[in-house]
Every structure is written in structure tokens, then in C-alpha cells.
Amino acid sequence: MDRIYRVRQGMGGRYAVERDGAFFWLEGDVFGDYRPGAAIDGPLGQVLSPVLPSKILAIGLNYKDHAAEMKKALPAEPLLFIKPATTVIGPEADIHIPSWCGRVEHESEMAVVIGRRASRVKAKDAMSYVLGITCLNDVTARELQAKDVQYSRAKGFDTFAPIGPCIAVGLDPSELEVEGWVNGQKRQHSNTRELIFPVPYIIEWLTRFMTLEPGDVITTGTPSGVGPLVPGDRMMVKVQGVGALSNPCVEAPQA
């Protein structure tokens, strides 16, 4: 299994691949034919978000226990909202907590990175359009979510979509442990076998009406245990086979 990282280099990023415990610069197209290149000696340096998606397609209430936690009925079809690309940050980047918006909460999620253009895809073929799996924190201004009814503002703040630390290529998303930790204490824990709508179904459903582009991210819902984040906290999302995505929380700059 490969793990693909995007590493700071100059003003942009460069891809590296971890294979069998060794790191190499990635050669070729990360969304096509890639291969390990020159070996990397020493630390990778600053790890960035593994992709810069054109859109993040988020599926809400996709774990039975979280639906119960939120006191909502199980959805008859996927509940979709979109997080803008400006929400994306990478590992160790600050999550900005605005003082004016009320309670802000973490949502630990397994996310899917699309590897090639997808339209009208059948579930049986869906995984061939997936590059790999990553971690995502669907940070949410919970009081604004309740006030607005729709989710765009509550989930669309800058820094509200930490992604990373890598893309794990070759993972089966159907049975992976998902955890959320705040300040070293576990708050969330479930397994993707508990998803109401599994990944192949979601991809088929989405691509009936929307084209997915390489690098787009589908995030698959959060288990129960969502809770508050405040400045000074450190939030960590863990997905089995991917690793840990860790971000400090700070007070957002004043408008």
C-alpha cells in the first residue's frame, strides 16, 4: 500500500510517496500513472493537505449512532452538503475558532479522494475512480447550523476542513476504524462498516447528477461523540491505515 503526501516546496507543494516504510519523490501524475522516484533522505518537512479539491462533497448523518445523537431520523437517501475549497487546511495548520458564532464542534471522518473524472458511475465500478482514503475533520459551527437550517455557513468557515496527513492508496473503505481525539482524550470511535450508505453507493448516487473531478473529496459522515472545540485545544482524527491528522485550535482573527 502506498501513502501519498504533499510536501511544502518553495511556494507550492510536491508529492512524495511512502512505500514499504521508505519515502520517495513521486514521479508522473498523482492522478494517473505515478511511480516512486529519487529516495528522500531526512525528514519530509512541512506536510500540506494532500489535495486541493475543487469541491468537498459531505454526506451528513451517515452513522446510525450519530443520527440518534442529533435526534434525527435515518435519511432515506444521502444527505448532501458542500464545503468550499477555502475551508481546506493541512496537518498542524490552525483551526480558527470564531468567538462570535457560538459552539464549534469537531466531526471526525473518513474521506475518499477521487482519482479520475467520474460521471454516471455504477456502484460496482465506483472504487476504480478512487485514488485513496484520507482523514477529514468536518468542523461545524453548531449553533449556526441549527439557526440556518441549511449547512453552508456553519460548515463553510475558513480552516473548517483539515485534511490529511496523506492519501492511503489501496485501502478498502468498508471496514476501517475512525476515531476523534481532543487533548489526548478519545471522544469518537466507530467503524465504517456502520455507515448507512457505503462508499460505492455514495459515488453512484452523486455521479447521477454531478461530475466528480480528480482531487475532489467525498467525506462520509461522522460517528457519535461530536463535541466542542475551543482555542487551546488540539484535535486529532485517526483513520485506520491512513494515520493521524492533528491540528491546534486558536481564536480566529477579529473581523
Q: Domain containing 54: what range?
A: 49-251
Beta bridge partner(s), residue 161: 88
Residue 255 has pLDDT above 80, yes or no: no
Residues 73 and 173 in one domain: yes
Residues 18 and 97 in one domain: no
**CA quadruple 30, 36, 41, 42: dihedral, nearest 10:** 40
- For the segment 52-102, what is each residue's pLDDT rounded down to a tens digit? 999 999 999 899 878 888 888 888 999 999 999 999 999 999 999 999 999
Residues 13 and 92 in one domain: no
**Under 8 Å between Cβ of 151 and 80:** no
Residues 167 and 109 in one domain: yes
* Number of domains present in the structure of the chain: 2
Instruction: Quickly list DSSP for 9-50.
Output: ETTEEEEEEEETTEEEEEEE-TTSSEEEEEEPPS---SEE-S
- For the segment 140-149, what is each residue's pLDDT rounded down to a tens digit? 999 999 999 8
| CATH for 79 | 3.90.850.10
- H-type helices in the chain, by residue range? 64-69, 142-148, 152-155, 199-206
Residues 28 and 128 in one domain: no
pTM: 0.96
Residues 13 and 117 in one domain: no
Rounded to an integer, the average pLDDT of 137-141 is 98
- For the segment 1-60, what is each residue's pLDDT rounded down to a tens digit? 999 999 998 888 999 999 999 999 999 999 999 999 999 998 999 999 999 999 999 999
